[in-house]
Amino acid sequence: MTPLLIALLLLLTLMLAFVRVFRGPTAEDRLLGIQSFGTIGTAVIILLSQSMDLLGLLDVALILAMLAAVTVIAFTRILPGAREVDPEESP
């Protein structure tokens, strides 16, 4: 498969993630859609880097992947119904 076709398929997947973010139905579904943006965006940037021979884009993809992970951690802290757990508290 050509990189262009793969990029188009990834962008189609990104559109489906947009639908999941806006329609839900739960907060967890929306969070999964948001995490998909980082994953798919990273894959698209890597494809562009390989097809255009721009090695600098690999650094951008790495930073996007790290930011996506941090964003998911931040969103899970503010999700409705998420409770704070004290690691020193024994069950």
Write out the residue range of the structural domain in which residue 21 sits. 3-78
Residue 91 lies in a domain: no
Residue 87 lies in a domain: no
34-90: per-residue pLDDT in tens?
A: 888 889 989 988 888 888 888 899 999 999 899 988 888 887 777 665 555 555 665
pLDDT score of 27? 78
Q: Assign residue 38 a region: left if phi > 0, alpha if psi is -120 to 50, beta otherwise? A: alpha
Of the CA atoms within 13 Å of residue 71, those in its CB half-sphere come to: 16
pTM for the full predicted model: 0.73
Q: How many domains does the chain have?
A: 1
Residue 44 lies in a domain: yes
Three-state DSSP at 84 gives: coil
Which pair of tokens denotes residue 79? 């999700």
Is residue 36 within 8 A of residue 55, CB to CB? The reply is: no
Q: In whole angstroms, what is the distance from residue 77 CA to residue 60 CA? A: 26
Residue 12 lies in a domain: yes
16-37: per-residue pLDDT in tens?
A: 999 988 888 887 888 888 888 8
